[in-house]
Chain A
Amino acid sequence: MRKQALPLPFLLGLGLLAAAAAPSLALPGAPDEGDILIKNGVILTVTKGVIAKGDVLVLGGVIKQVGGDIAAPPGVRVVDAAGRYVLPGLIDSHTHIALAGTNEGSEAITPEADVGAVINADDTSILTALSGGVTMVHTMHGSANPIGGPNVVLKTKWGRPSEELVVKEALPTLKFALGENVKQAGRTVQPGQTQRYPATRMGANAIIRREFEKARNYMERWDRYKKAAAAKNPPRTLVPPRKDLRMEVLAEVLRGERVARVHSYQATETLEFMELAKEFAFKVQCFEHIWEGYKIADELAAAKIGISVFADSWAYKMEAAEGIAYDAGFCAKKGVLVSINSDSGERIRRLFNDAAKTMKYGGLSEEEALRLVTINPAIQLGVDRVVGSLEAGKQGDIAIFNEHPMSAYTRCDMTIIEGRVYFDRDLVVKEREEAAKKAAAPKATGGVS
């Protein structure tokens, strides 16, 4: 296999572009108008079939037209994709990139710890993602806590200010976690600290239930107060309850304004959590990793709960021992909404390879496998109206591959977000060669030093 590690000069090259722009206020990746026409490629629309030779026109960041023989409007950049594959930008349903910190691990219940507050748009994992055609990521709180924090959906707009990365259309989510990580997160203690509760799976379930009970009480207290305050002559001595950020987030979950994304590995704990969600009537959007998903595929499909999983590499710890490579493919065939995730700032650049593994293990077709990293994660994130396929009206997030993205020989040549090119392999290779040439050049030719 070809060594795929991103060489330093690649990153440096883009970085120097950034350097050239400063200290003026222009940022790297400065956007043009977001107009681009991609010509003569094999168009994998994902939702509307395959166009053997077609064009995609993006104007003002939005896909205007997908089809054949689209004429270039004046001034619009044309990219020739003859012999290449044009597909929607890939979406990673579960990562932790572009953040300053992953876990608020000091306590078991931390729904106030919002990763959206600690976005780091300078994380070079964004570049890595772009080089693999990934245009959107669900970047999440870690799995140290039964109830972690709110997550955030970002586009991989390298060089743009953090606020421009945030996908506002996305469904608000909250990270939960079950199993070993939760049990063991409290085990390493500082001197003077006691071991964190919970230390068992039953404890994790119990503490989550306890917090939702608290949140219900909290909501009732506020309801009582609001009712009293809205009365004609509210009593002078009326005192509002204390606002609690922790409870506010759980209240959003209970009101259905925020959905649960739950890290779980085993079938039993997953079923227990589904019972808990039913009891408190909140929405579980997706189970994460869930190696034993194949054991409860019918239950997941019936409950309309998606899963976001690895393609392989199971049995790396006890609770993953019964994982199988067929998990994703099997569940998909059972009608579960499946996505393949990277959970990594490195694997993210070969998400398409991981999706393709479901063809060998699980027998998915090319089209079905591609859905696992495009429209399916888009549905899970609540953004399928705007991304996840190549359709007129959707945002112009596009990847161009030299071979079919599910081929073992493929690579991403170009990554486009809202009509703007954020990764161009030709350009990067050229810059790398120039940097190498510069490094090899004799230091000083003549002159006095």
Chain B
Amino acid sequence: MKHSPRVSALIALSFITALALAAGPPPGDVGPTYAIRNCRIVPVTGPAVEKGAIVIRDGLIESLGPVDKVKVPDDAEVVEAEGLTAYPGLISAFSNLFLEQPARPEGQGAPFEDFPQAQTQQPQEDRFPPGPGLFVLDQLKPKKTTVENFHKAGFTTVLVAPVRGIFQGQSVVLNLNGEPIRPMVVRNGAALHINFTTERGAYPSSLMGTIAHIRQSFIDAEYYAARQAQYAKDPAGLKRTEYDPRLEALAPFVRDRKPVVFQCNNVEDVKRALKIAAEFKLNALLAGATEAWRAADVLKKTPVPLLIGLDFRPPMTSLYATQGDELRKKAEAEIYPGNAAALAKEGIGFALVSAANGDGAPVLRGVRAAIKAGLPAEAALRALTIQPARYLGLDRSLGSLEPGKVANVVLVKGDIFDEKAQVAKVFADGVLFKYAEVSK
């Protein structure tokens, strides 16, 4: 087909505009202003508005309310959204997005072949790759398709956790507002991540060794921080503490109680993590925790934020997995999806997370299974919005639709957890992404 030069120019122009939109405004620029009109609004922290409007300016929510009460600014581009429901962008407080190597499924051991071979003569800090000082942000390669897949499942915000080693490194919170990584960063060094795994051919080679190693590391970090504090107060007569990059990275987590996320693959891991957290007074969060309901008594006594995964396969060591296929399948279909529902019933707080899923659709399938197993849909929504925002200390800017908060808005045809739900448009940091053209 041949276009006239004028038509071609128009097409090119609109293409450039689309690119510019998708990439988001350059930092410091004033972004576009939008007025979403005639949609149902579910703010999560307040009552739903049946026919409402939301004004987005420069990446933030300027105002929202019933459509007749919200003034559409003169400069706003109107987004007609009749028949759609606006939700706050969903948050996954634990994911492995954009990591080069595929994340391993939960419940499986570390991909040993990826570990550098242990050298007995190596210095201490190299023997525990990659270590607490690693920032996963430095390893991320964002992909447009992944962003879109998560948008289509309603997600606008993810915490990306590192995947290798025992002290895996520090995570980053990203707002999925395009492809370049820097504008996405909400908070780097969001949490330290610890996994109960082992090192091949090197210490520790067993779970009990790993637990001893984790404890000794925190003991050393406390000691290091205390020596530094003592020295800072008055160095006279004191020997300077030798600089240790590993302990330097760990110190803030014991000294300032920065968040520490433990990957918990089974019910015993939950208890192990709680013991370590109590010993070192850590600000702990437990991720995975697909058997958390089995530790409900302990969790009620020691409340701790749970980042519940939606992988319903019983862990390999579980009594539901070791007694034959019949029970294992039954457990996967009927028992494990009930984890979140059982926790909610006991009044134990949690967020739902995408975990190792590289795609958003299976996450929503998991949420639907959890709802089917008895989790109230409203609780599920909170567990994907305001609850993770609180756990990450980001609830003043994320997790609900309120004036002043970041404009992460998802426009959905149907209920967001309905199987037939379709995400029509997503605003992330006020950047508009268009997905499905939905009929009214």
Q: Which residue of A lies closest to B335 (CB)?
A: A22
- Whether B201 pairs with A190 at a CB distance below 8 angstroms is yes
Q: What are 28 inter-chain pairs, A to B, with CB distance below 8 A?
A: A11-B324, A15-B324, A16-B327, A18-B320, A19-B327, A22-B331, A23-B336, A23-B374, A25-B297, A27-B294, A100-B207, A101-B207, A101-B208, A103-B206, A104-B204, A106-B202, A110-B203, A113-B212, A117-B272, A122-B266, A159-B319, A161-B295, A190-B117, A192-B118, A192-B120, A193-B201, A193-B202, A237-B237
Picked from B268, B323, B346, the residue with its CB within 8 Å of the CB of A119 is: B268
Question: Which residues of chain A (18-39) have a CB below 8 Å from chain B?
Answer: 18-19, 22-25, 27-28
- Per the 8 Å Cβ criterion, residues 121-167 of A in contact with B are 121-124, 141, 149, 159, 161-163
| Whole-angstrom CA separation of A191 from B117 in the bound complex | 7
B122 to chain A, nearest CB (A): 9
A24 to B296, CA, bound (A): 10
Bound-complex Cα distance A141 to B205 (A): 13
Q: How far is the CA of A8 from the CA of B211 in the complex (A)?
A: 33
B139 close to chain A: CB less than 8 A: no
Kindly state whether residue A269 has any CB partner on chain B within 8 Å: no
Q: Per-residue 0/1 for B326-348: is the Cβ within 8 Å of any A Cβ (1 yes, 0 no)?
A: 11001100111111011000100
Is A107 an interface position by the 8 A CB rule?
Answer: yes
Asked if A22 and B238 sit within 8 Å, CB to CB, the answer is no
Q: Does A320 contact B (CB under 8 A)?
A: no
Which residue, of B212, B298, B324, has the highest number of chain A Cβ atoms within 10 A?
B212
* Cβ-defined contact, B317 with A100, below 8 A: yes
**How many Å lie between the Cα of A107 and that of B206 in the bound state?**
11
Q: In whole angstroms, how far apart are the Cα atoms of A335 and B416 in the complex?
A: 75
Q: Is A227 an interface residue (CB 8 A)?
A: no
Given A106-B205, A118-B207, answer yes or no on A25-B293 (Cβ-Cβ < 8 Å).
yes
> Is B216 engaged at the interface, CB distance under 8 Å to the other chain?
yes
Q: Contact flags (1/0) for A329-344 with B, using CB distance below 8 Å? A: 0000000000000000
- Against B, the Cβ 8 Å flags (1 = close, 0 = not) of A244-257 are 11000000000000
Q: A23-B373, A25-B293, A192-B117 are in contact. Are A117 and B204 (CB under 8 A)?
A: no
Q: Give B422 Cβ to nearest chain A Cβ, in Å.
A: 31
A105 at the interface (CB under 8 A from B): yes
Whether B118 contacts A22 by the Cβ 8 Å rule is no
Q: How far is the CB of B303 from chain A (nearest CB, A)?
A: 16
Asked if B208 and A124 make an inter-chain contact with CB atoms under 8 angstroms apart, the answer reads: no
Seed contacts A117-B211, A162-B268; 4 additional CB < 8 Å A-B pairs = A23-B334, A27-B294, A100-B317, A193-B119
Question: B8: CB under 8 A from chain A?
Answer: no
A437 to B212, alpha carbons, bound, how many Å?
A: 49
Distance of A105 Cα from B208 Cα, bound (Å): 11
- Interface positions, chain A 183-201, Cβ under 8 Å from B, are 189-194
Q: Which of A226-277 contact B (CB under 8 A)?
A: 236-237, 239-240, 242-245
Q: Which residues of A contact B374 (CB under 8 A)?
A: 23
A71 to B342 CA separation, bound complex (whole angstroms): 42
A interface residues, tally (CB under 8 Å): 55
Contact present for A106 and B203 (CB under 8 Å): yes
Per the bound structure, the CA–CA distance linking A102 and B345 in Å amounts to 37
Beyond A190-B200, A192-B118, whether A239 also contacts B324 by CB under 8 A is no
Cβ A118 vs Cβ B211 within 8 A: yes
Q: Which of B234, B326, B339 has its CB near the most chain A CB atoms (within 10 A)?
A: B326
Assembly CA distance A22 to B207 (angstroms): 28
Whether A105 lies near B205 (C-beta < 8 A) is yes
Contact residues in A for B330 (Cβ distance below 8 Å): 19
Q: Give the distance in Å from the alpha carbon of A115 to the alpha carbon of B335 in the complex.
A: 29
Query: Are B201 and A106 closer than 8 Å at their CB atoms?
Result: yes
* Min C-beta distance of A252 to chain B, whole Å: 15
- Asked whether A23 lies within 8 Å of B339 as measured between CB atoms, the reply is yes
Whether B206 lies near A104 (C-beta < 8 A) is yes
Q: Is B209 an interface residue (CB 8 A)?
A: yes
Q: Does A120 contact B (CB under 8 A)?
A: yes
What is the interface of chain A, defined by CB distance below 8 A to chain B?
Answer: 8, 11-12, 14-16, 18-19, 22-25, 27-28, 100-107, 110, 112-115, 117-124, 141, 149, 159, 161-163, 189-194, 236-237, 239-240, 242-245
* B33 nearest CB across to chain A (Å): 47
User: Please, how many angstroms separate the alpha-carbon atoms of A8 and B324 in the complex?
Assistant: 7
Q: Give residues of chain B (276-297) contacting chain A, Cβ–Cβ below 8 Å.
A: 293-297
Q: In the complex, which residue of chain A has the Cβ closest to the Cβ of B269?
A: A100
Q: Across the two chains, which residue of chain B brings its CB closest to A25?
A: B296
Q: Are A163 and B317 in contact (CB under 8 A)?
A: no
Q: Which residues of A contact B322 (CB under 8 A)?
A: 122-124
Among residues of B, the one whose C-beta sits closest to the C-beta of A110 is: B209
The answer to whether A15 touches B118, judged by C-beta atoms less than 8 angstroms apart, is no
Once the chains are docked, how many angstroms separate the CA of A4 from the CA of B118?
44
Taking a contact as CB atoms closer than 8 A, the residue among B118, B206, B227 that contacts A101 in the complex is B206
Do A19 and B320 touch across chains, with their CB atoms under 8 A apart? yes
| Contact between B268 and A121, CB atoms less than 8 A apart | yes
- Minimum C-beta distance from B12 to chain A (A): 57
On whether the beta carbons of A193 and B120 are closer than 8 Å, the reply is yes
Complexed CA–CA distance, A101 and B199 (Å) = 14
Q: When the two chains form their complex, are residues A237 and B238 in contact, meaning their CB atoms are under 8 A apart?
A: yes
Which of B219, B296, B298, B319 has the largest number of chain A CB atoms within 10 A?
B319
Q: Is B318 an interface residue (CB 8 A)?
A: yes
| Max chain A C-beta neighbours (<10 A), residue from B120, B216, B271, B324 | B120
Which residues in chain B, 152-211, are within 8 Å of chain A measured between CB atoms? 199-209, 211
Residue pair B268, A120 in contact (C-beta under 8 Å): yes
- Using Cβ atoms and an 8 Å threshold, which residues of chain A touch B339? 23
Instruction: Judge whether B237 and A15 touch: CB under 8 Å.
Output: no
**In the complex, A245→B217 CA distance in Å?**
10
Whether B215 sits at the interface, judged by CB under 8 Å, is yes
State whether the Cβ of B223 lies closer than 8 Å to any Cβ in chain A. yes
Question: Using Cβ atoms and an 8 Å threshold, which residues of chain A touch B342?
Answer: 23-25
Q: For the complex, what is the distance from the CA of A178 to the CA of B272, rounded to whole Å? A: 31
Q: How far is the CB of B125 from chain A (nearest CB, A)?
A: 16
Asked whether B302 is an interface residue with its Cβ less than 8 Å from the other chain, the reply is no
CB distance from A262 to the nearest CB of B (A): 19
Q: Are A12 and B223 in contact (CB under 8 A)?
A: no
A190 to B115, CA, bound (A): 12
**Chain B contacts for A103, CB-based, 8 A:** 205-206
Query: What chain A residues lie within 8 Å of B215 (beta carbons)?
Result: 112, 245
Within 8 A of A (CB), among B221-252: 223, 227, 230, 234, 236-238
Residue among A23, A25, A104, A239 with the highest chain B CB neighbour number at 10 A: A23
In angstroms, Cα B374 to Cα A131, docked, is 37
A239 touches B204 (CB 8 A): no
